[in-house]
Amino acid sequence: MKFVAPALLLLFSLSFAGAWTLERTRRYLLLFAIAFLCFGLAAAGQIAIWPRDVGANKLITVILFCVGVLLLCEGVLQRSGRHLALPLPLFVAGLIVAGIFYFFYIDRSLVTRAYILHFGLGTLFLITAWQGRFLRHGRGADRALWWLVVVVGLHFFPRTILTTGVFIDGAFGAATFWNWVQITFSLVGAIIALGLMAVTAIDVVTALRGERDSDPLTGLLNRRGLDLHSRAARKAHHKPVSSIVVCDIDHFKVINDTYGHAVGDAVLEGFAGTIRDMTRAGDLVARIGGEEFVVVLRGTPPMGAYQFAERLRLDIQRARFSGLPRQQTVTCSFGVVEFREGDDLWAAVDRADEYLYAAKKAGRNRTFAEGLQKVGVA
């Protein structure tokens, strides 16, 4: 029974390793797997007293705990594309190992070693929470992960003070103290692992939804994604004035027929990248057809959307696209309408299409906007 806790930690390690083999792009899962391997080996080493030399056992298990926490913290940040700034965490880990060595071999003190180990590990988690404080402003899973790191880091301090006072100075003695430490380490490890697994599951589901709702070539939203995100945005913000911009690449079929579909795809990708660079975080950009794109400009009246479309039109005209001759220009046409509160998205897109077709009929490479030009719309 005494090896149940290490076995559980090793099982978590295998679970993360298995998840990583299925999702190789999520390298943080491999870090989690190695971290829990370190925790499991450290816990097993303490219970089995291996190596048999007590001092060596203390040092090796402490090093494993420190390495495990560092890998775990690096994985938490790597999940968001960041990395642990190592100088301070490595310095703290070095102090933990040096302190355990000194207060075992030179000035033996169990209480001091307990404080050094637990306060040190708690500090490593809190350093990670500080470096990862940007997670507080992320999605729900990001915020939950940040609070998990904070709570785990903070818990080391009161728990260590309470347990050292009860077990080391009381009648139970040092052996009971270390048994209690192993139990609580395993319990905390299980809580961390379950939390990380929950966050990983949310990440995978979010990624699948993103694939379902996005255009595979450009990475923009597809028709379904635009519909879903538009509904969610309108519920969350309730801004009464937004605008719909519908844009279409002029003579795109000629580009495909003359230079091939690979060049056509490159034009679509470059076009999408230009739109993405010009829009804000709250705007919605979608590819809803072969060469037709829709932009929802949140909180922007039609005149502002018209100016946006004109800037985009000129940028596209000046741009050079891979596979096309340098003298070859790409132009586009735009239709702009107001997206009023209570409007149906696709009805507004249809209205913008009327202005787009009018711009094409008038000679292409221009913008027609509601309130500026008159077309045959109701």
Q: Tell me, what's the pLDDT at 294?
A: 96
Q: Which of the residue ranges 33-37, 171-175, 212-216, 229-233 has the most confident prediction, judged by mean pLDDT?
A: 33-37
Q: Tell me, what's the pLDDT at 238?
A: 55
Q: Tell me, what's the pLDDT at 378?
A: 38
Q: What are phi and psi of 293, to 5 degrees?
A: -125, 150
Q: Comparing C-alpha atoms, which of 224, 197, 264 is closest to residue 29?
A: 197
Q: What are phi and psi of 339, to 5 degrees?
A: -105, 95
Q: Tell me, what's the pLDDT at 287?
A: 96
Would you list the domain boundaries of the chain? Answer: 4-212, 223-369
Average pLDDT over residues 132-150: 94
Query: Which residue shows structure tokens 């990983």?
Result: 200
Active site residues: 291
Average pLDDT over residues 227-244: 75
Residue 199 has pLDDT above 70, yes or no: yes
Average pLDDT over residues 145-157: 96
Residue 160 has pLDDT above 90, yes or no: no
Q: Tell me, what's the pLDDT at 189?
A: 86
Average pLDDT over residues 43-56: 89
- Are 96 and 116 in contact by the 8 Å Cβ rule? The answer is yes
Average pLDDT over residues 245-253: 95
State how far Cα 111 lies from the chain centre. Answer: 40
Which amino acid, 327?
Q
Average pLDDT over residues 277-283: 90
Q: Is 126 left (phi over 0), alpha (psi -120 to 50) or beta?
A: alpha
Q: Tell me, what's the pLDDT at 377?
A: 45
CA pair distance 14, 6, nearest whole angstrom = 12
- Sequence-ordered list of residues with C-beta below 8 angstroms from that of 252, at least 6 positions apart, any chain: 264, 267, 290, 291
Q: Tell me, what's the pLDDT at 179?
A: 66
| CA angle, 215 then 219 then 224, to 5° | 40
- Are 51 and 57 in contact by the 8 Å Cβ rule? The answer is yes
- Top pLDDT among 58 and 5 is at 58
The pLDDT-based confidence of 170 (bands split at 50, 70, 90) is very low
Q: Tell me, what's the pLDDT at 304?
A: 93
333-361, pLDDT tens digit by residue? Answer: 999 999 877 788 999 999 999 999 999 99
Kindly write down the DSSP assignment for every residue of 157-173, as one continuous string.
HHHHHHHIIIIISSSSH
Residues in the chain: 378
Interaxial angle between packed helices 54-78 and 110-131, expressed in degrees from 0 to 180 and rounded to the nearest 10 = 10
Average pLDDT over residues 24-42: 95
Residue 186 has pLDDT above 90, yes or no: no
Residue 241 has pLDDT above 80, yes or no: no
Q: Give percent of the chain with pLDDT exceeding 70.
A: 92
Mean residue pLDDT across the chain: 89
Mean pLDDT lowest among 175-184, 284-293, 336-345: 175-184
Mean pLDDT lowest among 8-12, 331-335, 369-373: 369-373
The pLDDT-based confidence of 264 (bands split at 50, 70, 90) is very high
CATH topology of domain 223-369: Alpha-Beta Plaits (3.30.70)
The pLDDT-based confidence of 178 (bands split at 50, 70, 90) is low
Q: Tell me, what's the pLDDT at 104?
A: 94
Q: Tell me, what's the pLDDT at 79?
A: 95
CA pair distance 333, 364, nearest whole angstrom = 6
Residue 281 has pLDDT above 90, yes or no: no
Q: Tell me, what's the pLDDT at 167?
A: 57
